[in-house]
Amino acid sequence: MKRVGIIDYGIGNLLSVRRAFEHFGAEASLIRTPAELAAADRLVLPGVGAFADGMRGLAERRLVEPIRDYATRERPFLGICLGMQMMFDGSEEFGDHEGLGLIPGRVVAIPPRGIDRKLHRIPHIGWNALVLPPAQTGWRGSLLEDVGFGGFVYFVHSFTAVPEREDDRLADCHYGGLVLSAMARRGTLCGAQFHPEKSGETGLRIIRRFLES
């Protein structure tokens, strides 16, 4: 049976994430201590809400350094929504806050206007299509291998990660003509700005691929 640890740091509804992995018969357990985290062979960092609150929750549970250590061991890791954002060096959300530093880059506010200079809704909420960034030739060997170009997934976010290296961008989406990072990847570490657990069949394909990685 596939085993996956879901980090519980007091932010977000973990039930839907857990159920998505259990859909494929995985043994999904909540991780609350450094010892539990160190024993995991697949790790998921979910989350909703503010960046600073998320990092504070990890710090209060003494999970920041264990996550960083886990990331050096080339084991599967998936950050979801806020969890993806915290994988980066830092965020400008309500100040300047340090992240986990797993992927070089920063989290910045989604511009309030599209390329036509018209105001658009913030946060970016709803279904949007995944597109291939210029630095990628395809999704073979990634969590998106079973997802066709243009597959729709569900987003809820006001801030967006900007990877320092273009080849760390696995997938983008377009919003008001702007290009936003939808997925990032570095080695065995992967982040999804959208919610796979709320993204129907496309999201389940991503979760299945993570379990098979």
Which candidate in 22, 195, 201, 212 is catalytic? 195
d(CA 91, CA 139): 27
Which candidate in 65, 81, 166, 190 is catalytic? 81
* Orientation of helix 64-71 relative to helix 51-60, angle to 10°: 90
pLDDT per residue, tens digit, the chain (213 aa), is 678 999 999 887 798 999 999 999 999 999 999 999 988 889 999 999 999 999 999 999 999 999 999 999 989 999 999 999 999 999 999 999 999 999 999 999 999 998 888 888 999 999 999 999 999 999 999 999 999 889 999 999 999 999 999 999 999 999 999 999 999 999 999 999 999 999 999 999 999 999 998
43 burial via Cβ count (<10 Å: 0-12, 13-18, 19+): buried
Tell me, what's the pLDDT at 1?
Answer: 64
The pTM of the full predicted model, rounded to 2 decimals, is 0.96
From the list 43, 45, 44, 48, the residue with the least C-alpha distance to 12 is: 48
User: Is there a contact between 24 and 211 (Cβ–Cβ < 8 Å)?
Assistant: yes
CB-based contacts of 155: which residues, under 8 Å, 6+ apart?
124, 125, 126, 127, 128, 173, 182, 193, 194, 195
Which CATH superfamily is 3-212 part of? Class I glutamine amidotransferase (GATase) domain (3.40.50.880)
Q: Is 120 a known active-site residue? A: no
User: Is there a contact between 67 and 100 (Cβ–Cβ < 8 Å)?
Assistant: yes
Residue 43 forms beta bridges with which residues? 5, 77
Which candidate in 65, 197, 201, 212 is catalytic? 197
Q: Is 197 a known active-site residue? A: yes
Q: Is 190 a known active-site residue? A: no
From the list 123, 142, 124, 122, the residue with the least C-alpha distance to 132 is: 142
